[in-house]
Structure 1
Amino acid sequence: MTGSCAVDFPVMAFFKKSYFMDKENQTIVAYFIIKGITDVPELQVSIFILVLLMYLITLGGNMTILLLVCLDHRLHTPMYFFLGNLSIVDMCSSTVTLHNILLIGITGNRAISHQSCIAQIFFFGSFLSNELLFLTAMSYDRYVAICNPLRYTVIMNFRVSALLATVCWLLGFVEIIPYAVLVTGYPCYNSNIVNHFFCDLLAVIKLSCSDTSVLEILFIAEGMVILTLGPLFLTIISYIFIIVTILRIRTSIGRRKAFYTCSSHLTVVLLLYTTLIGQYMRPVTTDSLEYNKLFALFNTVAVPILNPIIYSLKNKDVKSAVQQKLCFFKLHSSSDLIKSKDAGNNQLNPNTGKLATEFKTTEAAPGNQSCKNRDSSDTASKGKIKSSHKPPLS
């Protein structure tokens, strides 16, 4: 058996360089060339259409979640407040990374300036940090809701939720500043061709001919331990307490209901951290860069698409809000259609001194009828609640 049997990881392998290179191979880079997902010309159109479709689905799904959280009063809770922020993060992260593929497909220009590349590294790292921090804040919210439900509204009030969201946004951007500063200080590179579909930190550093030992220590100590493993550790601690509390519930229905409230968040956490581990902690091979691109593509395309789908399919409140808004639009569209038909009929016989046709109520469609039934049931239930809370007679 020939060859080395040592197993290395991409984080370490990308930083292992030889610093005794010929000066003729070292150049000061003014711009980079983004290689993209693939350099096969026959696949460029298909990739562009697929990425554009995925990007539009990402924007549509997350924008729907954000609008529902803002418009529906039943979703004005800390959990959905954090979910709305997470939707903003997903839309921004996809825009930062996927716009390169879309621009290459439209213009054919793969060049990106050095400053734009550094900015892309900064914003991608910041939004990734924000997503991890918001998922950690949501795990704490689930911990309070399940382990201390009687004091949930007192602990997770609007002030606390806004403070946690502000910390997540600020800390996510501040943590990435040292990386952007260090990469900006690297004067020369062995090549300006980035084997990725955006300016990923590890893909750019692999091209540098400067001493990257400081960035290596920072990436391992701050990036992996504090930024990634720190939120993961806090999330695991929260779910340990959640699982212990659920197991103490006596009835199976109560245990199932308690677990159902955090199943969506747990699914998203497992999906995101599995992708990050596969991207940065996988043993390096000869096809390491190609696999890194696939994991990064899944992280920037599939995860933002799956987040609203998971929360809409596994959450009764979100499904109920969607159905209510659809019923609202159906009722208004049918009423507008009736008014327009009535107005058209009245214009057929002018100067008669009276209406030519009387307004006739049409039989509602099954969907509209169900919406009316739902509205009437909601009104009846609200009336029962109000009557049950009347003060006793003196």
Structure 2
Amino acid sequence: MRNGTTVQEFILEGFPAIQHLGNVLLVVHLLAYLASIAGNAVIVTITCADSRLHTPMYFFLSIFSFFECCIISAVIPKLLVIFLLGKQTISFPACFIQAFVFVFLGATGFLLIAVLSLDPYVAICKPLHYPTIMNLKTCFLLVTSCFALAFTLITGLIVKVSQLSFCGPHVIPHFFCDVGPLIHLSCSDTRSVEMLTFVLALFILLTSFIITIIAYSNIVVTIVRLPSAREKQKKALSTCSSHLIVLSLMYGSCVFIYVKPKQTNRLDSNREAALVNMVVTPLLNPVIYTLRNKQVHQALRETMCRMKILRIK
């Protein structure tokens, strides 16, 4: 850290306008957090336990669900502590660690979304080449590439932000440490860091969005051109539309928060957008992507039956 930094800890403002509803907010966010963790954990567990789900699609979904559990666990527990105990302070190193974990996992998640869209694209649009294209080596390579690219980009950004001077104020107008609010508190010249944040956010979101839209567009065109199997067409189109609704929430909230040249604008409204991204979408993802699937339902029922038999024994 530079010598100009005198701040030793930050205060997370949370939601001051509705702070009097602390107990209600605690219960709501706790239930949402537990439901999100449970739903995503079920996906990971079932995928590992059932050999029929050892396919590229469920492999990507389990990785994505694992990242969802990690990203909400990096933010929501601290928010629950604020509601429960009113403890809003966070140390300087802990704040930057939380910012790094959140942004890194978020960037990795968006890159994984693009990878998720490639699997149904190859399966539907290139069915004859699917076994050779989507093999185990390719799956690991794609996931590793997402992890490595996000780690490289976000590490450089957080290091750049940590080199700024923080000499007061130390109240973060947010419920967790994020890049935008931290830049806002710096007493250094932040123009280069703001532009770097804007460029990285635009690159990650735009790359993921373009790949996803191209993949789903080709899937829809291929399905519509099929001369038969009307029921399968309706089911596939319904699934695609559900996926796109969840994706629109994720992309919309992150574009609103990060894709702006000056990170100090609209910090108050960023809290609501971040809350949607942190609470609503992790709840919807397990339902939309996996738990509606009959194959998952069957695997879940069989796993529960096995657990009951083991308890009886």
Q: TM-score w.r.t. structure 2 length? A: 0.89
1-structure distance, mates of 2:99, 2:19:
27
- Render the CA deviation track for 1:43-82: whole Å, top value 9, x for unaligned: 2222222222221111111111110110111211111101
Equivalent residue in structure 1 for 2:221, among 221, 239, 244: 244
1-structure distance, mates of 2:219, 2:21:
47
2-structure distance, mates of 1:208, 1:181:
14
2-structure distance, mates of 1:136, 1:40:
37
Conservation of the 8 A alpha-carbon contact between 2:22 and 2:84: no
1-structure distance, mates of 2:244, 2:51:
25
Seen in structure 2, the aligned counterparts of structure 1 residues 211 and 113 have a Cα distance that, compared at 3 Å, is same
Seen in structure 2, the aligned counterparts of structure 1 residues 146 and 99 have a Cα distance that, compared at 3 Å, is same
Equivalent residue in structure 2 for 1:147, among 116, 125, 132: 125
Equivalent residue in structure 2 for 1:164, among 132, 142, 155: 142
Q: Which has the larger radius of gyration?
A: 1
Shift of 1:324: 2.4
Q: Which has the higher helix share?
A: 2
| Alignment-derived partner of residue 205 in structure 2 | 228
Q: 1:214 is aligned with what amino acid? A: S
RMSD value over aligned CA atoms?
A: 2.4
Equivalent residue in structure 2 for 1:195, among 173, 182, 188: 173
Seen in structure 2, the aligned counterparts of structure 1 residues 327 and 297 have a Cα distance that, compared at 3 Å, is same
Conservation of the 8 A alpha-carbon contact between 2:168 and 2:185: yes
Shift of 1:118: 1.1
Seen in structure 2, the aligned counterparts of structure 1 residues 260 and 76 have a Cα distance that, compared at 3 Å, is farther
Shift of 1:108: 3.2
Conservation of the 8 A alpha-carbon contact between 1:32 and 1:193: yes
2-structure distance, mates of 1:116, 1:245:
49
Shift of 1:243: 2.2
Shift of 1:168: 1.4
| Alignment-derived partner of residue 65 in structure 1 | 43
Seen in structure 2, the aligned counterparts of structure 1 residues 229 and 325 have a Cα distance that, compared at 3 Å, is same
2-structure distance, mates of 1:248, 1:41:
54
1:209 aligns with 2:187: yes
| Alignment-derived partner of residue 74 in structure 2 | 96
| Alignment-derived partner of residue 277 in structure 1 | 255
Secondary structure of the corresponding residue to residue 29 of structure 1: coil
Q: 2:214 is aligned with what amino acid? A: I
Identical columns (%)? 38
Secondary structure of the corresponding residue to residue 33 of structure 1: strand
Q: 1:240 is aligned with what amino acid? A: S
| Alignment-derived partner of residue 11 in structure 2 | 33
2-structure distance, mates of 1:39, 1:328:
49
Q: 2:215 is aligned with what amino acid? A: S
Q: 2:99 is aligned with what amino acid? A: I
| Alignment-derived partner of residue 10 in structure 1 | none
1:319 aligns with 2:297: yes
Conservation of the 8 A alpha-carbon contact between 2:183 and 2:194: no
Seen in structure 2, the aligned counterparts of structure 1 residues 156 and 27 have a Cα distance that, compared at 3 Å, is closer
Give the count of matched residue pairs. Answer: 306
Seen in structure 2, the aligned counterparts of structure 1 residues 177 and 28 have a Cα distance that, compared at 3 Å, is same
Counterparts of 1:9-20 in structure 2, within 5 Å, are none
Q: 2:222 is aligned with what amino acid? A: T
| Alignment-derived partner of residue 379 in structure 1 | none
1-structure distance, mates of 2:122, 2:58:
15
200-209 or 313-322, which deviates more: 313-322
Counterparts of 1:331-342 in structure 2, within 5 Å, are 336=312
Equivalent residue in structure 2 for 1:112, among 90, 96, 99: 90
Counterparts of 1:232-311 in structure 2, within 5 Å, are 232-251=209-228, 252-259=230-237, 262-263=240-241, 265-280=243-258, 288-311=266-289
| Alignment-derived partner of residue 125 in structure 1 | 103
2-structure distance, mates of 1:218, 1:134:
22
